[in-house]
Amino acid sequence: MAKRNRYAGVLQPRLVGRGGPETAVLALYDIEDDRLRARVANICLDYGLVRIQFSAFLGKLNRNHREELTLRLSKEVGTALARLRVIVLCQTDFETMWVLDQYRLPEEGLVSKPVLRVIASD
């Protein structure tokens, strides 16, 4: 008789300190309170994520740091009205991402022409 997996359907326990490989993470939020929104943005920056939109950050984190980020964000938000998403992207999707950068920076003015980059590894 085949041995049954007693952890089927639940998270399997892992050793402390094993974070696994880094994977791409997309952190999105919709927060009305300006001060809270700024604190959430600073937390994302603390974890090395890069701002890709006003309320969206992208970067690579291992499993432990993703969990820490999620817990820290939920603790910071508390009972305030907010929508938070921490989305893990697979390597293939991350490598074939399309990027269109055309925006106004206060110190630089409008970018002259839209720049479309397809990030793909051959």
Domain spans, the chain? 23-93
Q: How far apart are the first and last CA of the chain?
A: 46
What pLDDT score does 10 carry?
Answer: 52
What pLDDT score does 81 carry?
Answer: 92
Asked whether 84 and 44 are in contact (CB, 8 A), the reply is: no
* Residue ranges, the chain, pLDDT below 70: 1-20, 102-122
Provide φ and ψ at 95, rounded to 5°.
-75, -25
User: Which CATH entry fits the domain spanning 23-93: 3.30.70.240, 1.10.8.350, 1.20.58.100, 1.20.58.1030?
Assistant: 3.30.70.240
What pLDDT score does 20 carry?
Answer: 66
